[in-house]
Every structure is written in structure tokens, then in C-alpha cells.
Amino acid sequence: MTSTSHPHGLRAELESLTTEAFRPELAEIDRLPTVEIARLMNGEDTGVPAAVAARLPQIAAAIDAVAARMARGGRLVYAGAGTAGRLGVLDASECPPTFNTEPAQVVGLIAGGPQALVTSVEGAEDSPELARRDLDGLGLDPDDTVVGVSASGRTPYAVGAVVHARALGALTIGLSCNEGSALAAAAEHGIEVVVGPELLTGSTRLKAGTAQKLVLNMLSTITMIRLGKTYGNLMVDVRASNDKLRARSRRIVALATGAADEEIEAALTATGGEVKNAILIVLSGVDGPTAARLLEESGGHLRAALAAATG
């Protein structure tokens, strides 16, 4: 048994983490008026963006590395336990409807599997072997990226995922909220967003969770921008799967082209509702099959396809 797996060793390790620090000045927080507790909590949250800003160079370097691999067909895989795992699953699940990605392109793994999204799975986060098994089920290759997510930076599932992925030649990123973390040390790209002790000691779903959500937003969104999933700041790869998204599709084509409603409807009909293709038809005058071919040849980048169509 290692020193950190022994209860006393683990307690000492937790006490050394910034995210776990006790704040005696808040010991009477439960006796305060509700509005004052809300004011304190809101004040705590205001420091999170600054902590993220301090790590922007590391975040940007990681994003460029991810985008280069995904452009070659690689996948983006998040791996974490508890809140960190849920945030990864959330970010992955939002990519298909937002960017028209295939479900297998961005994947969220949570220690203990889908059941752990709503209930605690005993011992799952303590198992690097479980992380290896989950990753082996995906058949990783060197074009894939694995992002280990852990507030403490020591969760065995997240660290084990990064160690195993790196051994297989995949790109690895370690996202944590403590400096000098084992997770960052194990990864090719370490991102340590230090938000300080929590309002409630040990409740790292608060500031630490917010910081992780902000960074995951950047990782997926900016990667998709680099992959040509947007045109300017318009989500041109949106999948029109419901009434709201169909209305959004028409609005995006209108914003990108300034065309009349009738022309927009005709272009969307000609492309089966594909926004990017419809914009290309309106702006360049090509037909549906030509738009599809030009976008395929440009790797899905609308600006490049427009240049080819009008050049």
C-alpha cells in the first residue's frame, strides 16, 4: 500500500492541495443571510476567468495540437471522474448538435460509465486500470487526443488515462486546478488553472468546476473554428434537428449572405438543409452538387471553397 492510498497519507495529500484548503473566515457562513451567502459565492466566481486567462498560452498550444490531429481524422476524448467526468461528457455531447460532428469524434469518458453521471460508483475514480480499459475500448491511435480532467490533478482514473494514452502515442492534455499536479506532469500539455480554495471545503464542483467548464468550452469551440466549422462567428455546421435549429439555420444563411428569404429557402432545399452548402450556393452561384464537391475538396472550410468557386 502506498502512502497516499493509506487513509492518513491520503488525508495529508488532500490537505496539501489548494482546492482542498480550509478557510476559517467562512466557518460561520451557514449563519449568514441567504443574500450574503449568494454575494460571497458570486464574489468567489469572479476570479475564475482571471485564473483561466493566466493559462491562455498553454490552452492555445493544446488547441493547435488537437486541431492538427483532428484535421487528420483524430478524435477528442475527455476522461475524468465525478464532476470533471460529467463536464467532459457534457462538452462532448454538445458537439454533434452544435458543430455537426459525428458522435464518435468527441467522446466523454466518466469513471464508472454512464451510471456515474447521476450516482456515485464506488471506487471507480481510484482505478487507473478502469481508465486503460475504457480507452482500449475506443482503439486509440496517434491522431487521437485524450484530455484528463481532474480538479485535484491526482485522480487515478484521469492520470491513468493520460499515462496510457501517451504510451499509445496519442496527444495528451492534463487539465487540473492545482499547481505541480501529477496529471499535468503526466501529460504532454499541462493546463493548471489555480482558482484557490472553495467556498465549501472540498466542493470542487464550484470554482474548480467552473474553471474546467470554461477551458473545455475553449478546447472544443476553438478547435472547431480551426477545423472550419464556423464562418466568421457563425455556426455554419449547425445540424438542423429541431424547429429551433431550423429557424437558426435560416437566420445564419441570412446573416452570412444578406439574401432574401425565398433565395435562402431555395438554397437550403437544394442542399438538404446544410447551412454551409447553402451559403456557398448563394454567395457563389454554384449548384448543390458543385457546392458539396468544393467543400469536400477544401476540407470543409467555407472560405477556401468560396475562393475556389469565385477565383
Q: How confident is the model at residue 19 (pLDDT cuts 50, 70, 90)?
A: low
* Percentage of the chain modeled with pLDDT above 90: 77
**More reliable by pLDDT, 245 or 49:** 49
The pLDDT, as a whole number, for residue 138 is 97
pLDDT at 59 over 50: yes
Domains parsed from the chain with CATH numbers: 10-226 (3.40.50.10490), 243-310 (1.10.8.1080)
Mapping DSSP to helix (H, G, I), strand (E, B) and coil, where does residue 189 land? strand
Distances in whole angstroms, Cα of residue 222 to Cα of each of 60, 95, 137: 9, 12, 27
Q: How confident is the model at residue 179 (pLDDT cuts 50, 70, 90)?
A: very high
Q: Phi and psi of 282, rounded to 5°?
A: -65, -45
- Measure the CA–CA gap between 3 and 16, rounded to whole angstroms: 14
The pLDDT, as a whole number, for residue 27 is 82
End-to-end CA, the chain: 68
The pLDDT, as a whole number, for residue 14 is 56
Mapping DSSP to helix (H, G, I), strand (E, B) and coil, where does residue 64 land? helix
pLDDT at 3 over 50: no
pLDDT at 23 over 80: no
- Measure the CA–CA gap between 195 and 214, rounded to whole angstroms: 12
The pLDDT, as a whole number, for residue 244 is 85
Rounded to an integer, the average pLDDT of 169-173 is 98
Average pLDDT, the chain: 91
The pLDDT, as a whole number, for residue 282 is 97
Q: How many helices (H) and strands (E) does the chain have?
A: 14, 5
Q: How far is CA 92 from the centre of its chain?
A: 6
The pLDDT, as a whole number, for residue 17 is 66
The pLDDT, as a whole number, for residue 144 is 98
- Measure the CA–CA gap between 294 and 305, rounded to whole angstroms: 5
Active site residues: 94, 125
- Measure the CA–CA gap between 87 and 109, rounded to whole angstroms: 10
pLDDT at 106 over 90: yes
Single out the residue of 162, 67, 82, 154 nearest to residue 118, CA to CA.
Answer: 82
Rounded to an integer, the average pLDDT of 198-205 is 84
- Measure the CA–CA gap between 76 and 92, rounded to whole angstroms: 8
The pLDDT, as a whole number, for residue 11 is 57
The pLDDT, as a whole number, for residue 9 is 59
Asked which of 111-120, 283-292, 295-304 is least confident by mean pLDDT, the reply is 111-120
Rounded to an integer, the average pLDDT of 74-97 is 96
The pLDDT, as a whole number, for residue 2 is 40
The pLDDT, as a whole number, for residue 13 is 61
**Cβ pair 88, 145 in contact under 8 A:** no
The pLDDT, as a whole number, for residue 200 is 87
Q: At what angle do helices 261-270 and 275-284 cross, to 10 degrees?
A: 120
The pLDDT, as a whole number, for residue 25 is 82
Q: How far is CA 59 from the centre of its chain?
A: 12
- Measure the CA–CA gap between 22 and 26, rounded to whole angstroms: 9
Mapping DSSP to helix (H, G, I), strand (E, B) and coil, where does residue 46 land? coil
The pLDDT, as a whole number, for residue 238 is 75
The pLDDT, as a whole number, for residue 203 is 79
Its pTM stands at 0.88
The pLDDT, as a whole number, for residue 104 is 96
Q: Phi and psi of 239, rounded to 5°?
A: -100, 115
98 CB contacts (<8 Å, ≥6 apart)? Answer: 224, 235, 238
Cell, residue 81:
471522474
